[in-house]
């Protein structure tokens, strides 16, 4: 009898999670793309975040804001991916420094767009700006998703937008922020 009750509970949990997955997967993939700057990795990162949510679903489903929990997991996964990439680039630079060829005048086309400017922001500023302006989250929801204070969200968003303004110009930033400037 116990097994039957447990099976029914598992089915209900699986059904709830499936609904959660369907409702939030696209949002998490978009967030992963904006935070990482890697469109090819966005789906994998979103899936990994949702897998972590599934493993904790008994706790997450009872939370006040399960989507914020998922965004926080995703942000941590992206942060780890960025750190790994930086470590790998450093290793490659050390190895490659011994075998590099110098190019006197490289032909580099400079294209400034929002994604490139976002990549130049430190991770926390970028995350705050993206969650606040691209995902239209409140300061409270952003703080909850990142596990930081509302004051930190305010300061990091403000500093991030100021840095974007220096990189892109104030008109572009006003458009990014939805005409707030």
The C-alpha torsion from 44 through 50 and 51 to 56, rounded to 10°, is 160
**158 or 104, greater pLDDT:** 158
Residue 179 φ/ψ, nearest 5 degrees: 80, 20
Matching CATH number, 1-100, of 3.30.870, 1.20.950, 1.10.3860, 1.10.1740: 1.10.1740
Residues 34, 118 contacting (CB under 8 angstroms) = yes
Q: Which residues contact 128 (CB under 8 A, 6 or more apart)?
A: 142, 146, 153, 156, 157, 160
Tell me the two tokens of residue 147.
């596990």
Q: pLDDT at residue 47 above 90?
A: yes
**pLDDT the model gives residue 98:** 46
Q: Which residues contact 12 (CB under 8 A, 6 or more apart)?
A: none
What CATH number was assigned to the domain covering residues 104-181? 1.10.10.10
Q: Structure pTM?
A: 0.58
Q: pLDDT at residue 70 above 70?
A: yes
96-145 pLDDT, tens digit each: 444 444 445 433 332 346 778 888 999 999 999 989 988 888 999 899 88
Q: Enumerate the domain spans of the chain.
A: 1-100, 104-181
């Amino acid at each position: 009898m116990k097994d039957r009750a447990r099976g029914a509970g598992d089915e209900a949990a699986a059904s709830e999670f499936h609904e959660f997955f369907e409702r939030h997967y696209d949002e998490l993939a978009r967030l992963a793309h904006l935070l990482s700057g890697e469109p090819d990795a966005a789906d994998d990162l979103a899936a990994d975040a949702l897998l972590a949510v599934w493993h904790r679903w008994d706790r997450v489903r009872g939370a006040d804001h399960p989507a914020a929990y998922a965004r926080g997991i995703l942000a941590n996964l992206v942060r780890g991916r960025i750190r790994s990439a930086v470590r790998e680039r450093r290793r490659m630079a050390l190895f490659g420094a011994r075998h590099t060829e110098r190019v006197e005048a490289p032909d580099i086309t400079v294209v400034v767009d929002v994604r490139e400017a976002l990549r130049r922001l430190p991770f926390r500023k970028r995350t705050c700006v993206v969650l606040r302006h691209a995902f239209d989250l409140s300061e409270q929801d952003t703080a909850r998703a990142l596990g930081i204070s509302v004051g930190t969200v305010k300061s990091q968003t403000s500093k991030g937008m100021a840095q974007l303004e220096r990189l892109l110009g104030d008109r572009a930033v006003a458009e990014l922020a939805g005409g707030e400037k």
